[in-house]
Amino acid sequence: MSNLQVGLAVVGGLVLAIMVAHGAWTSRRNLPRQATLPDAAGTPDAGQQAGAAVEPELDAAAFDVASFPVAAAEKKPALDALIDVIASIALDAPVSGEAALAAMPPTRRAGGKSFSIEGFNEVSQRWEIPLPGQRYGMFQAGVQLANRSGALNDIEYSEFVMKTQVFCDAINGTPDFPEMRNEVARARELDQFASEHDAQLGFVLRARNAAWSPGYVQQNASRLGFVAGSIPGRMVIPASLPGLPPVLVLSFDAQAAMADDPAQSAIRELAISLDVAQVDRGERAFGRMRDAARSLAEGMDGVVTDDNGMLLSVAAMELIGSELEQLYDTLEQHDLSAGSGAARRLFS
């Protein structure tokens, strides 16, 4: 073999090696960022110190909502004349809880609105959902005036009347219904107020360069207090009191979360959302939402935008916070404080 042939062979080999190395580097650069696990001593192991990508062996139970302590169920809010049509039901004689429960309609809806029947407990002297072993001296039935599906309409009001009448016939009760025209008009007014003061906020966190794996997102979010939600691709910051809606919700592609090999799932964006009326003002939800978004963006090499992809500046976030304080004040002035039972029902 001549010197020229040897030289060409060497050059060819070098070019091939460079191409292989470049391909490996490009593949590694495009691999989604992975979560890292500390070793027993609390420091990264040798592979991690060398920059190796590691997808942790996530314990499924650790991210299964069923494994968390069961929150105490909050007592269902009582019927409220502010947001319900209420029909009183007079009785010829007290009725047992067992009889009342047997007479209850099979569903607790009238069209798209919540329907409920409460009894006045003769012992505790308070309104409650009928319970076995108790006796009730009177009842009241109610249907919600409005929710996010709209205002109570004539058909829903008529269904409310029919359900209530069937219950009354079974317990020998006499209902007293408010005039339909007045209640439907009141429902429209409440619906108009609710539509003008409803706020559901969302930030989008987008990756600048490398995508993220589900484990990487979960690891970074858990440091800020997020825990696994009830469905894949969802994490939440729980409310201070058990049984209440979450303060914040973080969500990303559910298919990526359920992939056979999560390490290969590429997530390029996630959303942090706040349903304002569902969360008590004292939770400081927006401030925590803003801080979480900033912290995640910094730690995960991302940017914070709105739903349309526009970057959210510090000034824009401060403006949103200021407008929210005014909204909180308005809701309180109308006896619909954010996080209250009435507000949670109206804005649902």
pLDDT band for position 33 (50/70/90)? confident
Of the three residues 131, 161, 195, the one that is the final residue of a domain is 195
Same structural domain for residues 236 and 324?
A: yes
For residues 33 and 116, give the distance between their C-alpha atoms in angstroms, rounded to a whole number.
50
Domain count within the chain: 2
- The number of beta carbons lying within 10 Å of the beta carbon of residue 51 is 8
DSSP 229: -
pTM: 0.78
Residue 340 and residue 228 in one domain: yes
Same domain for 296 and 167, yes or no, is: no
Asked whether residue 12 is domain-assigned, the answer is no
Confidence of residue 53 (pLDDT cuts 50, 70, 90): very low
Region for residue 175 given its phi and psi (left: phi exceeds 0; alpha: psi -120 to 50; beta: otherwise): beta
pLDDT at 19: 53
Q: Residue 22 falls within a domain, yes or no? A: no
Q: Is residue 256 part of a domain?
A: yes
Place of tokens 């079974």: 170
Give residue-wise pLDDT tens across range 318-333: 999 999 999 999 999 9
The domain in which residue 219 lies consists of 60-70+199-346
CA distance 77 to 28: 54
Q: Is residue 236 part of a domain?
A: yes
Task: Dump the DSSP string for 277-301.
Answer: GGS-GGG-HHHHHHHHHHHHHHHHT
Q: Would residue 44 count as lying in a domain?
A: no
Residue 280's CATH number: 3.30.1400.10
**SS3 state at 324:** helix
Q: Do residue 66 and residue 206 come from a single domain?
A: yes
Of 136, 133, 126, 285, the closest CA to residue 200 belongs to 285
38: pLDDT confidence band, cut at 50, 70 and 90? low
Residue by residue, DSSP assigns 48-64 as HHTT--------GGGG-
Which is more confident, 169 or 76?
169
Residue 159 CA, chain-centre distance (Å), reads: 30
Domain final residue, candidates 160, 195, 230: 195
